Amino acid sequence: MPNAATISKRISKPHLEVQGNYALSGELKVSGAKNSALVLMAASLLTEEKLLLENVPQLTDIEGMSEILLTMGVNLRQEKDELHIQAADLHHVELPYELVHGLRASFFCIGPLLARLGRAKIPLPGGCEIGARPVLEHIKGLKALGAYINVEHGVVTASVPGTQKRLKGTDVVLDCPSVGATETILMAAVLAEGQSSIENAAQEPEIQDLAKLLNCMGANISGAGGPKITIKGVKQLHGCNYTVMPDRIEAGTFLIAAAITRSKLNVAPVIPEHLNAVLQKLRDCGCDLQINEDGIEITPGEIEGVDITTQPFPGFPTDLQAPFMALMATAKGTSVITEKIYENRMKHVPELQRMGASIRLQGNTAVIEGVPQLSAAPVSGGDLRSTAAMVLASLSAQGVSKVEGLTHLDRGYAALEEKLNQAGARILRY
């Protein structure tokens, strides 16, 4: 029979206690981009020389990726936001399922391992809270480059035939502009024999960051950031020092934090062209944005409902759909938000409804009628970005909210409550 102790233990999951309805002020500092740093860490496998990555965010996903590289024999140490990596003698090219399932980016090691060693054995990452997340485009691209790929028992076993064990350059056309598939094929092609191209490539800024790092290591890539990337294979790559770009999704989350609390804030550093679709929607819904030397100053006016449909870059990013919906829940009038990238990324809707939001969900389309004020409640996030959305909603709600889902949150936001409290929020972590 459960007793009071076991019941209270079950109830007291790690959570944030957020006192809502306080304006913020000053500046919110943006860390390095998680979704760039993770793939740049995978790219370190392409050379035996030293790589120094700077502006690496301190996140549990980065720790997870470090663990994975260490199991392969990579020499790695993190000093604050600097990551020293050297894949001099890779010895273990089979990754454990538990590590890969928990961190999809680890699957992106398959391209560099094939290019460097000619073999790799990586579990299929499997689905996650937001969708099935297949990797067929990754596998199709690697096969086109000449790799033998066998998928059974949930494991992808890949090898490069021939004495040279060198992939052969070729032209690949993606069925969908997959970020991960573009990155996997790019990293496999840089050491292939001859020229390759990727058409219908993902155009996200993280692809440009990866191409810049690879070119800094001696690769020959052009067109990254556009729909067609061309790669001239080279024999080997060397080490280099590289600074990770600022996290556009964290920056967008902070801009929405300013808008939802109706606070004038500076968010920095930001590369505005990484967020044009989001900046446009913030202006459309009533925010004034001033772009300064390294950031953006946002001054919210009366927030009105606007419609959003998530798209591949340069469209509105799926990773800011949940945070933006929290804002729309407090806007004047109606907004329609449609999720087109993932099949199951509306987990924040019932949680926002618990806070008094008026939302009707039909499949992956939400119709939101803004309310004057949300009311604080105990809520939880089902994935990284929906948990961030619940923190934003709590900042504007009347009363004290309890937000669970910190294991999700800490994957993608470094010291979120410290940053928000330094700008005037009142958040405690338990």
Instruction: Give 245's DSSP letter.
Output: P
Strand partners, 428: 17
Q: Which of 18, 24, 37, 38 binds ligand EPZ (CB under 6 A)?
A: 38
137 in contact with ligand EPZ (CB under 6 A): yes
Binding mask 393-412 for ligand EPZ (x = CB under 6 A): -------------------x
**Sequence-distant (≥ 6) Cβ neighbours of residue 134 within 8 angstroms:** none
Q: Under rule CB under 6 A, how many of the chain's residues touch ligand EPZ?
A: 25
Q: Which residues within the stretch 176-215 sit at the binding site for ligand EPZ (CB under 6 A)? A: 176, 178-181, 202, 204
Nearest distance in Å: CB 66, ligand EPZ: 15
* CA atoms of 313 and 204, how far apart (whole Å): 5
Token reading at 370: 């803004």
- Is the CB of 309 or the CB of 373 nearer to ligand EPZ? 309
Q: Which residues within the stretch 212-271 sit at the binding site for ligand EPZ (CB under 6 A)? A: none
Amino acid, single-letter form, for residue 160? V
Residue 226: closest CA among 210, 205, 241, 244: 205
Q: Which stretch binds ligand EPZ (CB under 6 A): 91-99, 133-141, 145-153, 390-398?
A: 133-141
- Is the CB of 139 or the CB of 376 nearer to ligand EPZ? 139
Residue 242: closest CA among 116, 88, 82: 82
* CA atoms of 220 and 35, how far apart (whole Å): 22
Amino acid, single-letter form, for residue 209? D
Residue 148: closest CA among 120, 173, 169, 126: 120
Q: Which residues within the stretch 269-328 sit at the binding site for ligand EPZ (CB under 6 A)? A: 318-319
* CA atoms of 264 and 382, how far apart (whole Å): 30
- Is the CB of 175 or the CB of 288 nearer to ligand EPZ? 175
Q: Which of 31, 35, 261, 386 binds ligand EPZ (CB under 6 A)?
A: 35
Q: Which of 128, 216, 240, 285 is catalytic?
A: 128
173 in contact with ligand EPZ (CB under 6 A): no
Axis-axis angle for helices 34-43, 60-71 (nearest 10)? 10
Q: Which stretch binds ligand EPZ (CB under 6 A): 154-162, 173-181, 277-285, 295-303?
A: 173-181
Token reading at 151: 């998928």
Neighbours of 309 (CB within 10 A): 15
Nearest distance in Å: CB 219, ligand EPZ: 20
Binding mask 95-124 for ligand EPZ (x = CB under 6 A): ---------xx-------------------
**Cβ-proximal residue to ligand EPZ, closest one:** 180
Nearest distance in Å: CB 254, ligand EPZ: 15
134 in contact with ligand EPZ (CB under 6 A): yes
Q: Which of 15, 29, 116, 138 binds ligand EPZ (CB under 6 A)?
A: 138
* CA atoms of 181 and 172, how far apart (whole Å): 11
The length of the chain, given as a count of residues: 430
Neighbours of 375 (CB within 10 A): 14
- Is the CB of 314 or the CB of 424 nearer to ligand EPZ? 314
Please confirm, yes or no, whether 240 is among the known catalytic residues.
Answer: no
Looking from the CA of 146 toward its CB, the CA atoms found within 13 Å total 20
Question: Please, what's the b/e burial string for 67-92 (b: 16 or more CB within 10 A of its CB; e: otherwise)?
Answer: ebbeebebebeeeebebebbbeebee
End-to-end CA separation in angstroms for the chain = 27
Q: Which stretch binds ligand EPZ (CB under 6 A): 16-24, 63-71, 109-117, 171-179?
A: 171-179
Q: Which residues within the stretch 375-394 sit at the binding site for ligand EPZ (CB under 6 A)? A: 384-385
- Strand positions, DSSP E, 55-129: 75-79, 82-86, 119-123
- Is the CB of 180 or the CB of 225 nearer to ligand EPZ? 180
Residue 270: closest CA among 292, 289, 246: 246
Nearest distance in Å: CB 286, ligand EPZ: 26
Q: Which stretch binds ligand EPZ (CB under 6 A): 127-135, 155-163, 264-272, 346-354?
A: 127-135
Q: Which stretch binds ligand EPZ (CB under 6 A): 132-140, 260-268, 368-376, 413-421?
A: 132-140
Q: Mark out the alpha helices in 217-320 (DSSP H runs).
A: 248-260, 276-284
Q: Which residues are catalytic?
A: 128
For ligand EPZ, the binding residues (CB under 6 A) are 35, 38, 104-105, 131, 133-138, 176, 178-181, 202, 204, 318-319, 341-342, 384-385, 412
